[in-house]
Amino acid sequence: MNLKSFYCSLIQKNIECRENEKMDRHTTFKIGGNADIFVCPKTKKELSFALKCAKDNDVSVFILGKGSNLLVSDSGIEGAVICLSNLDGVSVLDNTITCGAGANLSLICTTALKHELSGMEFAYGIPGSVGGAVYMNAGAYGGEMSQIVKGAYCLDFSGNEVYIDNEKMNFGYRNSAFKQNGLIVTEVIIELNKGDKNEIADKMQDLLSRRKDKQPLEYPSAGSTFKRPLNNFAGTLIEKNGLKGKTVGGAMVSEKHAGFVINFDNATALDVKNLIKQVQDAVYKNDGIMLETEVIFVGK
């Protein structure tokens, strides 16, 4: 892995990049050590060059959106983190919204509202990028990305572009083909329906109010920590086992919603991982259900 050559090649092309970037600045958990190289391409062309350059220099790559579903190791991330936040353009034509992978979900929701387009209300308040939302088929309140995504433009790790339509995305619960096929979503095409502007606005505000009432949004977290088990709810099982408020170091099972592990006092990644393990062990021992994490663990 030739990090120096990789870094110098990007600098020569005036592609924004930094060495030893603190990853706690780039995740909603506010946790994580340093990335060796942190790259912020402004265009698909810059992203393609960075990917090709990484391959040529045998540099491992992790693709980052808004960091809203990640727990980064205290030891950081080896190789390059390529952040897609600058790929955030949003345009509307009739009932179709085309948006860069780094575009904020809530911004796309307000754009849909402005154009009287319905179908994205469920995503209002989800603190992530549209690329990450497609990657994990994010959803809430009966809606999910699989219902509204028509297709996506992607790059492979050699920097070549391909188009994938909805059928080939193999969407499942918090899952998609992008977790296996090695493609990086760069642009998403969303297809919505014409609706009543007041009704859309009312639904968005209702769902946002529910989030604020039920979720510990005042603390850093990665959203729902666990996937929903079959015919049950993670938060219900955790609360049933008396784990609300349980702490390990600076990590806590939220007293507001047991399905959230929060960073309430300068938690480390190890604190969070150990707390998650204790929750999983307790629920499995008493209920025979192994809770799977929705949070993605990355780093050394």
Q: Which residues contact 77 (CB under 8 A, 6 or more apart)?
A: 23, 32, 33, 34, 35, 36, 62, 298, 299, 300
Strands 193-194 and 117-118: antiparallel
In sequence order, the β-bridge partners of residue 161 are 155
Tokens standing for residue 93: 């034509």
Tokens standing for residue 38: 């942190």
Strands 90-93 and 96-100: antiparallel
Catalytic residues: 174, 224, 294
Query: Reduced to 3 DSSP states, what percent helix, strand and coil does the chain have, rounded to the nearest 5?
Result: 35, 25, 40
Written as one letter, the residue type at 7 is Y
